[in-house]
Amino acid sequence: MVPYTLVRSRRKTLALVISREGELVVRAPLRASKAWIESFIQEKEPWIREKQAEIHSRRDCGITGETDQLLPFRGETLTIAAASVPQVERQGALLLVPEGAGPEEIAGWLRKQAAEALPALLERRAKELGVSYTGFHLSEARRSWGSCTAKGAIRLSWRLLMCPPELADYVAVHELCHLRHMDHSPAFWAAVEAACPDCLTCRQQLRKDYGWLMELF
């Protein structure tokens, strides 16, 4: 039997959730029997094991700075290479890293790129949408690509630089639309879709295809 954490609530169906750490969480109705729950887990065990293996594999593939590791960057893939350079720098499809440097230096390079690219993206999209934000900060959050405060300050994750540009654009639009709709109402989503017609696809890709990037550093 796969170990699991049980969470009961006023729901009618069973649901299985694999956490970012690879742990199985079972969401069940208040009166669901243990036998029903564990029978359901056994039925779905191949799927559970597959998802857990995928998460553990990604976690083990974190960026270390070793030569020939691959780094996703704005829709491209850069190959890390140790070199006699004073600091991390890009050269075509290579990311040159000083001898002895590690993930901290590479993450620092990504933050620097994000500090240049994301404010420019946010400013351009804000002008197009006709909205004003009160401040911008790079985010270190691992569970959110972006946020917007009630006071109009926007945070965007520097890890967006590892995603294709259209996904960073979607996150920027999403947070800017919160300046007019501080909720996820139909009016909010209509505003997002008007500015980013592929918003649903982008949202799904961030969740299903790129969430693992949060674990690279």
Kindly state whether residues 120 and 210 are assigned to the same domain.
yes
Q: Is residue 158 part of a domain?
A: yes
User: Within this chain, do residues 99 and 115 fall inside the same structural domain, yes or no?
Assistant: no
Our count of domains for the chain comes to 3
Question: Looking at residue 57, what is its pLDDT?
Answer: 60
CATH code at position 180: 3.30.2010.10
pTM higher than 0.95, yes or no? no
Task: Give the containing element (helix H, strand E) for 169.
Answer: helix 165-177
Looking at the structure, do residues 45 and 76 belong to the same domain, yes or no? no
The answer to whether position 125 is within a domain reads yes
Q: Above pLDDT 70, what percent of the chain?
A: 97
pLDDT in tens, 46-77: 999 888 877 766 655 678 888 898 999 999 99
3-class SS string, 116-131: HHHHHHHHHHHHHHCC
Instruction: Return left, alpha or beta for 100; rule: phi > 0 is left, psi -120 to 50 is alpha, else beta.
Output: left
Q: Quote the domain boundaries for residue 82.
A: 70-105
pLDDT at 60: 58
- pLDDT (tens digit, 9 = 90+) per residue, 164-193? 999 999 999 999 999 999 999 999 999 999
**Average pLDDT rounded to a whole number, residues 108-136:** 97
More confidently predicted of 52 and 29: 29
